[in-house]
Amino acid sequence: RSHPDVHKFSVETIQWYPHDTGMFTSSSFDKTLKIWDTNTLQPADIFHFEGAVYSHHMSPVATNHCLIAVGTKNPKVQLCDLRSGSSSHILQGHRQEVLAVSWSPRHEYILATGSADGIVKLWDVRRASGCLSTLDQHNGEKSKASSEAANTAHNGRVNGLRYTNDGLHLLTIGTDDRMRLWNSSTGENTLVNYGKVCNESRKGLKFAISCGCNPEFAFVPYGGAIAVYTVFTGELITMLRGHYSTVNCCVFQPHFQELYSGSKDCNILAWIPAPREAVPDDISEKSLPQQHLNPAYEDAWSSSDDEG
């Protein structure tokens, strides 16, 4: 807090530069995005906006551009260029503030944005003419009588979105207490039913998707707990309880298969998978009493011999 360049209000998003740890970025309700030099802990650049910054994201796979997508209180999506230091690029199409932005991990020019207008848009940032597509929760089958709700992804504010790690699907969360899984190439709602996903956040909701697990899991802040869902079947596996107040964010660490969560209780918790105890060679595993392991931690691997 004593640092001269500290943000004045709530810090909403922090991200390492995807290609090395010499730089990281932070954005805040103080209407700024700061580019930090890790070695000196001084801002190398500061971008200023007209309104509070809800979310920003750098592409994890880009090699031909250095654009940071920024969602603010302004309905225009801002693109800040690290190379030129300018934020002149804008994407127009949303009607209300942009709460969530995410680059595709598969295509470096494809960007997804979610807004308070209930709309999720996919963009090719090379195209100035407008967005590629607008996701429709009804897959185009809505009756014409209620055309107002046509082409909305949610019946509320869209305040969270993330691509799956292969980039083939997009998961979105809205204040209509719904989570939806979309085919990112066709824009189709896959109609996976996650049930009621309680979401009262007035800001961006920072949830996480596992990497290197089978099946894949979504870790969603759910009041003072974290709900763990299977991404492709919608099953609620468990609720992780340990925080004393509202959970704000989740991050998944694929190398250690660990989950980290931050909360208003001022704690960061590390959730570590329960390891299986080694079985001696002379004992058949099937003869042991079956432990009721959380399915999230079960080993789903099988050798080719077992498959016959």
Confidence (pLDDT) at 127: 85
The identity of residue 10, as a single letter, is: S
Q: Give the three-class secondary structure for 126.
A: coil
- Averages of pLDDT over runs of 10 residues in the chain (308 residues) are 85 88 91 91 90 92 92 92 82 92 95 93 87 90 57 91 95 94 94 90 89 92 94 95 93 93 94 78 59 54 53
Q: Domain 208-275: give its CATH code.
A: 2.40.10
Of 170, 12, 41, the residue nearest 106 (C-alpha):
170
Confidence (pLDDT) at 302: 54
What are the structure tokens assigned to 25, written together? 């970025």
CA–CA separation, 135 and 178 (whole Å): 15
What are the structure tokens assigned to 134, written together? 């607008």
Give start-end residues of each CATH 2.40.10 domain in the chain.
208-275
- What torsion do the CA atoms of 273, 299, 232, 56 make, to the nearest 10 degrees? 40
Confidence (pLDDT) at 226: 95
CA–CA separation, 211 and 232 (whole Å): 14
Confidence (pLDDT) at 53: 92
What's the predicted TM-score (pTM) here?
0.85
Question: According to the CATH classification, is domain 11-206 in 2.130.10.10?
Answer: yes
Give start-end residues of each CATH 2.130.10.10 domain in the chain.
11-206
Q: Give the three-class secondary structure for 134.
A: strand
